[in-house]
Amino acid sequence: MNGPVEYIPTTLNAIRVDTVVGCDLYLQNCVNNEVRYVLYCSGTSVVKSDKIEDLQKHQIKRLFIRKEDQKIYLKYIESSLIHIINDDRVDIKEKAYIVYDVAKNIMVDVFEDPRSGEQVARSKNWVSNTIDFVMKSKGAYSNMINMISHDYYTYTHSVNVSVLGLLFAKYLGFDGNEMQAFGTGLLLHDVGKTQVDPDIINKKERLNDAEFAMIKMHVELGADILKQTGCVDSASFFPIMQHHEKYSGKGYPNGLKGDAIHKYGKMACIIDVYDALTTKRSYADARKPFPALKIMNDEMTGSFDEKYFKDFILFLGSGGERQYQKSKKKFPMSV
Residues forming contacts to Fe ion in the complex (CB under 5 A) are: 190
Residue 319: CB minimum distance to Fe ion, A: 28
Residue 219: CB minimum distance to Fe ion, A: 6
Nearer to Fe ion, 140 or 191 (CB): 191
Residue 189: CB minimum distance to Fe ion, A: 6
Nearer to Fe ion, 222 or 320 (CB): 222
Residue 157: CB minimum distance to Fe ion, A: 9
Q: Tell me which residue of 252, 245, 271 sits closest to 212, measured CA to CA.
A: 252
Nearer to Fe ion, 63 or 223 (CB): 223
CA distances to 157, 158, 300 from 306, in Å: 24, 24, 12
| DSSP per-residue letters across 163-193 | HHHHHHHHHTT--HHHHHHHHHHHHTTTGGG
Nearer to Fe ion, 21 or 269 (CB): 269
Cis, bond preceding 253 (omega within 30 deg of 0): yes
Nearer to Fe ion, 72 or 276 (CB): 276
Residue 128: CB minimum distance to Fe ion, A: 23
Q: How many CB atoms lie within 10 A of CB 25?
A: 24
Q: Tell me the C-alpha distance between 129 and 82, whole Å.
A: 6
* Burial class of residue 217 (count of CB atoms within 10 Å of its CB; 0-12, 13-18, 19+): middle
Question: Under DSSP, is residue 28 helix (H, G, I), strand (E, B) or coil?
Answer: strand
